[in-house]
Structure 1
Amino acid sequence: MKRNILTSITFILIFFFIINVKKVYGFSFVQEENVLIQNLDSIEYWIDHSYINNAFQIIDKTEKLALESKNKKHIARVYRLRSGLYISVQDLEGFETYLKKATILQKQVQDQYGEIYLDNLWGLYHKIVSKDNDKAIFYLKKAIDGAEKYKYEEQSIDMLVNLTSVYYRNADWKNCYEVSEKAIELAKKYHKDIRLLYLYYRIGTACSRTNRYDEALLFFRKGEEIARREIDSAKTTNFSNHTLYLAGIASVYDQKEEYKLANDYYKEFIREQSEQNNIFLEKYAKDIKAYKELQLKQKDNERILAENKYQQTRLKLNEYLLISGGVIIVILILLILLQYKNSRLKTENNSLLQEKNVELLKAKNKVEEAYKQKTLFINNITHELRTPLHAINGISHLLEHKESDEDQRKKQLDILQFSGKYLLRFINDIIELNRSDEGYKISLKKHLFDPTQLINTIKESLKFFIIGENNNVFKFLFGEKLPMKLLGDPDHLSRIIISILSNTSRYINGGIIEFSVEPFFTKENTSTILFSVKSEDLYFPKEKQEELHRAFIENQSAIFTSLSDENNLLTLELVIANKLLLQCNSKLDFISNEIEGTVFSFQISFEQVEERMEQTEHSIKKNEDVKILVVEDNRVNQLITRKIITNFGYQCEIASDGYEALKMTENNDYDLIFMDIMMEGIDGFETTKQIRKSDEKTPIIALTAISEAENKEDFVDAGITKVINKPFEPEILLEQIQFTIS
């Protein structure tokens, strides 16, 4: 009988325990439902106000809660919100996956706004993914009609903005103008400045393309005013600067033939774009560091949240245990078992967290070291770029003074052209040499040049190239029987000479530097010229000499080491000079002692050519029968390329995008097509493929900044004949035109 009583008591205690547990979990379910709805509302608010990063931080947790709730309306909503987040960051695969999931669930629930929201997303899908503009317009208009029907006025703004983007891409300027005008009115009403940035630019472009220039300027300036305001840095938008508006205003003035104003705005555009690029690089490095720190904090926060949740659960259980006094013995046994398991789990988690913290600390140190090297690299490479830029700015300033006579202006223009080529070759040398494999040689030009005239040009340019004048005196000595004409690459030779002279000048102050050039020996049609730089005021200690020899031997790692190590800055120019000499089958030699000073020397062999009339770019016979099409979406590049081609005497027509190029090639025959690759709408690869369907013979040359080596397969598949990398020299363009049409 006692046994039966004990059994009955046990069942009663278990019954009370189950009731109390149900109360705990029932309360938890209601709380989680409220958290889910609050999170969904927050994500929708953050997307609407462009706080995309904030939305991403809780989307995973919210999706998990929605799935656990098994509420189809909540699940459909979180799916379409995640789809909207993915399109905001251009994750097209994630966007398409969740859009289809949301569409399937939407058919099973009654949600008017959800259907409107999905129509808007399907419009974006057909615009961006399937590139079916007609379907995009259909779905966006359907979404707008639904929003107007059910009074979602504020929400319709984004749908109108998306519709204007489709009309803008189709160059349907009439509809683009009308829809933009309607969207601007609503955006102003609800203070949507981010949307106004897009709308003012599109409506301004529509006016510009329909020759309503004054109206276009009015809209561009309104957009520029908004862009100049300080925008919340937490918002995710790539339209937070007004450089695009500067380019738009410049383009309008260009169309109005007010070239001075257009030039002023283009200069402001270029200057501000350069500043923003520098800011981006610095911000990018800081973001990497901040991201790693955030990961550490998130791990710590997750651990704290887990411990807090555990403590709250224990408190609630203890509260109900007091009410269920009759089951205290059973609960104590359960708690002992639970505590044992939790202690074991906590021990394992702590051990795992310690291991992860060590790994994160190592990763953090690596990021900080990479950031430091990146900063030094940027500072040093900027120093090297400022040298020729200083020459260009200085000469430009001198050319503004009209009192200079014709000879002075010609000499100044020669220096300006020399500086531009120097800058272009410096950038190309750094890119090609630093990435090249051992034994790889860059392509050297073969031009007829006068060595004496070249050295005199370098002499005139020294005051611009060697900015840090240390009161040094330069002497130039020419040997007897120096050939009048040599065949080689004068720009390449100039880079070598200026690098050595600049480096030598940095080491001394108030000294004398002698530069001499003389024939070393002549064999048949080949002349070997000896170049030397000498200064009795310069002496390298033995340690420095060993360092220089080591830098010359290290080959391709030496350039980056010199650019990113503040202790090796003075070695940089000598390393580059030696790398350039290796491309000429030569090398930089030097001797240094305390008595005679230091002498740098090198020898280069040139082909010796009889003095003859050399054909220049200005003496090319004009051929007005040759018709060339340039496909380029950048107005500045259009202007420059057209001017170069027409100066050579050829006909030139411009297509501003791939769609316009396809129409022009259908209606006209061209002898040659220059194709930009990175364009809005359809890119250069796709445009070339479309042209090749009906025209397999017309040569198509790519003018692009992307790497030919890394994209070789794409160029071949598209049917592109030749690739010329930007920036390019006019002579290179002329050579390709003459070669192709011949």
Structure 2
Amino acid sequence: MLTQKSERFLNNSEFKESLFYAREALKLSISLNDDYFKSISYKIIASNYEELSEYEKSIANYNIALQYAEKIGNSDLLSRINNNIGNIYFFHKKEYEKALDLYDKSIFYGEQIQDTSRVAFANLNLAWAKFDIGQYDEGYKHLNYINKNIHYLNADAVPVVFMLNGMYNSYKGKVDIATSDFEKSIAEATRLKQDVDLSFAYLEYSMFLNKYGLYKSAFENLDQYRILRSKIYDQQKLKKALSEGLNFEIDEYKRALVQINQEKADQASKLKKSRITVYLFVAGIIGLLIILYSVYKNYLYKKKLNSELQIANSELKIAKDMAIEAAKVKTQFVSTISHELRTPLYGVVGLADMIMEEYKGSANSKHLNSLKFSAEYLLSLVNDILQINKIEENKLVLEKYCFNLVDQLETIKDSLSFISKFNKNNIVLDIAKDIPANLIGDKIRLCQILINLISNALKFTSNDEVLLKVSLDKKLGEVCFLKFEVIDHGIGIAKKNQEKIFDKFVQIERKNEDYQGTGLGLSIVKKLVNLFGSEIYIESEEHVGSTFTFTIPFDADQEKCKKMMEDEIIDHQTCKPLKILVVEDNKINQIVTCKTLRDKNHSCEVAESGSKALDLLESEHFDAILMDINMPVMDGYETSREIRKRGFKIPIIALTAYGRDEIIERVLASGMDDCLVKPFEAVTLFTIINRLVK
């Protein structure tokens, strides 16, 4: 093609030939009215002018190319052209702010089409630009990106990458590494016959050698630079190229002249039609008067209608206010119910654990295990209701944790072993080998999704296996899209019911012997998968089995993950036993909390009320306070405010059955330092205590 020939001549610094073929390509694209090739042709012509140091002409032609690229919405062309204009403004016109803005646009369009090669090339120019003005640390961010994505660049850009690494290592004083980088740049540019890049490599190497006193070698490399630049810009060659450029400008003037003549012809045609236009105008005025009369009559009718609508809107506003009030009542009801249920559950679960620990022989007791399982199931039911309420109110947000996928899935498998043994099933994990070991994302929500799906599969499958298959669907940069499949060979779901199962409180064809759940599990799963920006799909056949599939993106940047893990390392052991004040009015909760503390060699005192707590603080020293929120007479908030008013700086941790996000602002405002929801893991309690005490 003409444009390809033109670009080949341009790459070989044969400007006359390049301009000739670009002109021919432009003529053809104009005759075919092809905006894409118009943009390409103007871009090549602009590149020739840039090489010939005709920067104003170059920018003018780049801008025409940019107009055609914007017209067809071609992000690839927009990225390349913005990058080239940025080079002119930076390296030749020294308008740095404008240049950096153009480079950013180039990266934006490259990312828009997910073209890593285009983004990498723009970063290359940004790094070079920053180095050129001495901003080496800023430029290194872009160089680091290039080094990681060098395989996306064309081979002819590799010499420049080596040269930039040499410039940065020279700045850092790494003489040997910089020398190696410059020599690689020269060797690679020589091999590829890239005279322009080779000349820049000689120039930068010369400056590097001169900086370290190697004047002879510096002069030799500078001489090589001059020889190459003379070869590239041979005067005879430039004259021919400029004459070809003049021919192009003549073509442009001719096209402009044709356009002017066409516009004149159009104007003459319009004048001939002007008389008809006058007649039509008069007829239009008459028609407009008729329309105005009609509009006036409509106005009177709408005025009456608007009066009726205002009354209706007032009624709707009243209904809306009532609905908002009802929603508040619902939220308060759910919060209150959760508190009332969680408080005794804390005692039941805690006492069951204490009995099993103190009386080792009772660990295998069916009755005790049933008691604990029933309490945990009731807690799960409460949490399901709260979970669905939070999601519907958009209060749930994804967290970021660094976690090991294999370890996490093995933990899920172990936690569901009781359910799997009940129906004589086996859980099988099939994890693809190409998935990175550590990932960054919300592991808690992922586990919640998988536990719901796998437990459902186990409940409706007997004497078989449930397969959890995880594969790498695709990878974009450092982001891995993992495909999860939960496969069972159970009773299956009829086609007509497959959409219903994700609705709240729906249980399809339930039998008396089936597991009795809330009907919220799959509804929560669907909403959590949506929260990850994905969808869940089901394939199922009655008496054959079901497959649930969804895909979730996780950050797989191992360096970032390593740093997060280092930040998360917490010493859960205190240097000495602590004395802790437990402010709690519930007798059972007093027993459970104190037993948990004493098992870790801490001592504790119990205050049944806020006033008793204040008396104890006046007479004894404590390292921390565990404060129940809901107490009669003086609640936890009031007690904490009074403690702070008296000047005590002791860490105070709220223990509550309310949801953390419901009360955390009020907790902190009252002077408490943190909040823990009952029932809680002992390790979580001691982590908070250690952090606050230290």
Q: TM class by shorter-chain length?
A: 0.3 to 0.5
Higher-Rg member (1/2): 2
User: So what's the TM-score if we normalise by structure 1?
Assistant: 0.37
